[in-house]
A = this chain, B = another copy of it.
Amino acid sequence: MKRLQYTKILVPVDGSKFAEKALLHACELAKNYHSEVTLIYVVDKSYTISFLDKKEYLSMVRKFADKIIKKSLSLTVQNGIDAKHLIKEGNVADEIIKFAKKDNTNLIVMGSRGLGKTLRLFLGSISNKLVNNSPCSVLIIKN
């Protein structure tokens, strides 16, 4: 049988412990399948917070994105993986799908839930949108 490969693994990170767990699974798979790992953080431009103006919000989220990418890269290094990384801005699922198509990603590994209870419904819909529209296989890590 031709070996089924996951040559390129994409991991959306968002600073949540769920995304962190997904990243650990991605590192394990990457070691088994000798995959290239890319971390992606998408600054959600469609999301707003009532007490912040758009500029303040974007400035804060961009700083947060840098911090989370650095933290995630450090976690991959600790797990023996030298990952690539990128930060995009736009709609979270759309940007992930767009990059996966462009980069010929074989597998997206992501947490089933994101930051905090209030965002769960919203982030739940990201994983559904990815499962329905992703050009490649999707591994949703639970708990």
Interface on A for B, CB 8 Å cutoff? 1, 3-4, 24-25, 28, 32-33, 78-79, 112, 124, 127-128, 131-132, 134-143
Contact = CB atoms under 8 A, between A and B. Distances in A.
Given A1-B24, A139-B140, 5 more contacts: A4-B25, A4-B28, A124-B132, A128-B132, A138-B140
Oligomer: number of copies: 2
A94 B142 CA distance: 17
Contacts of A134: 140, 142
Contact of A137 (B4, B124, B137, B141): B141
Contacts of A128: 128, 131-132
Given A3-B28, A4-B25, A24-B4, A142 B132 contact: no
